[in-house]
Amino acid sequence: MNLSKWVFQIFIIFTLFNLQISTGVSQFSNNFLKIAKQDEFFSWMVGIRRKIHEHPELGYQEFETSQVIRQELDKLGVGYNHPVAVTGVVGFVGSGQPPFVAIRADMDALPLQEMVEWEHKSKIPGKMHACGHDAHVTMLLGAAKILKDHSHLLKGTVVLVFQPAEEGGGGAIQVVDSGVLRNVKAIFGLHVSPGLPLGQVSSKPGTLLAGSGFFEAVITGKGGHAAIPQHAIDPILAASNVVVSLQHLVSREVNPLDSQVVTVAKFQGGGAFNVIPDSVTIGGTFRAFSKESFMQLKQRIEEVIIGQATVHRCNATVEFSTKDRPFIPVTINDNNLHKYFQNVAGDVLGPSNVKSMLPLMGSEDFSVYQEVIPGYFYFLGMKTESNKKPTSVHSPFFEINEDILPFGAAMHASLVANYLTEIQDSETQLNEKHHNEL
């Protein structure tokens, strides 16, 4: 066969393959949502969510949460690997054979004291599920139940990723490093959205969420009496000028069309009204929508802190994200999966409930998966008429509308079940085409 002709035919086949994956019609969606809304199924999910909510655990400490997950998977007859990434659980539903597709839920809570007064309030002082991860775990378990009941229809294997330490701990990095996703062809994830109407989803192709990192600096001067500042070297004054100068990085050094954020959220120094301390510690976060902008911002943060400290006769040391708080990449949705997502979500929720959105400066370590696997992340709404002004995530007053649970379970299950069908059908067509040409 002429080489150029062979290359052209491979290109045509590849194009048809991508087209089919992105425009296929959902076969399971309506049925899955009806199942998830059934009273018994819904009550089961609510019970799990409340149990997890009452016992919130921080990153890599999700031992009780992990146990709840494994108990439910055991009841469903779903096999799993544990431990993965310390406390994580990775389950498997389907044929056990390729192709493999994954869905992910994060498990960890936040160091917040819950201020919502209700029967199932957090029982652990200073810890709370204030970002909806208890609902994320529950919806993934709901999807596992749906998929297990329909496992005979799955044309491949669904990988269920219950991931620890999303809130700054980089749990996704450890999951990837474990190798459990080595043969996965695509991965899907969601996040609850208090501002989006119940049953609506919102996302976009390409850049969705910012990359993020942390920094901490110790600015050291010379302590002394507040009444004779000339005998001291004031690190508080130096640190104050550092904070102001860091804000100029975005306002005066960044293209206004290239969104970036620098926030100093930690400022610690001194313990008395009449004593200039020896040192001050500041810290914060920085975010950008591209790796290039992110690394440039990192460089300038260090230069500004050290430079401003020097101007005020102080010394400064700067530390950036560590193993415990790693850099999180930009969340970038796969273009082909976006088309596929729109079609399946339209079938599950109705086309009018599938919305587009602008990028957000928040970050998500789901992006770690997207660096090695085609991935798609989206937001699922839970706002109702009775909750017109919902509290945002990461607030001690954050509340989950439990009516969201069936929608999340059905979306998870529909995305992966249909993906397996379409990708296997496409591979079959590829094989037949290749065989006929030979």
User: According to the annotation, is 167 in a ligand binding site?
Assistant: yes
SS3 content of the chain, % helix, strand, coil (to 5): 45, 25, 30
In this predicted structure, what is the pLDDT of residue 123?
Answer: 98
User: According to the annotation, is 312 in a ligand binding site?
Assistant: no
Longest pairwise C-alpha distance within the chain:
91
In this predicted structure, what is the pLDDT of residue 26?
Answer: 56
User: CATH fold of 211-320, please?
Assistant: Alpha-Beta Plaits (3.30.70)
In this predicted structure, what is the pLDDT of residue 138?
Answer: 99
Q: What is the DSSP letter of 62?
A: -
Identify the burial level of 33 via C-beta atoms within 10 angstroms of its C-beta, where 0-12 means exposed, 13-18 middle and 19 or more buried: buried
User: According to the annotation, is 131 in a ligand binding site?
Assistant: yes
Contact status, residue 185 vs residue 362, Cβ threshold 8 Å: no
Amino acid at site 413: A
Give the number of residues written for the chain. Answer: 438
In this predicted structure, what is the pLDDT of residue 341?
Answer: 98
In this predicted structure, what is the pLDDT of residue 325?
Answer: 86
pTM of the model: 0.89
Identify the burial level of 252 via C-beta atoms within 10 angstroms of its C-beta, where 0-12 means exposed, 13-18 middle and 19 or more buried: exposed
The 3-state DSSP class for residue 146 equals helix
For residues 215 and 325, give the distance between their C-alpha atoms in angstroms, rounded to a whole number: 10
- CA-nearest of 160, 280, 294, 157 to 214 is 294
In this predicted structure, what is the pLDDT of residue 288?
Answer: 97
Q: Which CATH architecture has domain 3-208+330-434?
A: 3-Layer(aba) Sandwich (3.40)
In this predicted structure, what is the pLDDT of residue 424?
Answer: 78
Cβ neighbors of 229 (< 8 A, separation 6 or more) are 276
Q: Quick one: how far is CA 424 from the chain centroid?
A: 28
Give me the residue spans of the domains in the chain: 3-208+330-434, 211-320
Beta strands per DSSP E along 10-141:
79-84, 88-94, 100-106
Identify the burial level of 16 via C-beta atoms within 10 angstroms of its C-beta, where 0-12 means exposed, 13-18 middle and 19 or more buried: middle
Averages of pLDDT over each 10 residues, the chain, 438 residues = 47 43 53 97 98 98 98 98 98 97 98 97 98 98 98 96 96 97 97 97 98 97 98 98 97 94 97 97 96 96 98 98 88 97 97 97 97 98 84 96 98 97 71 53
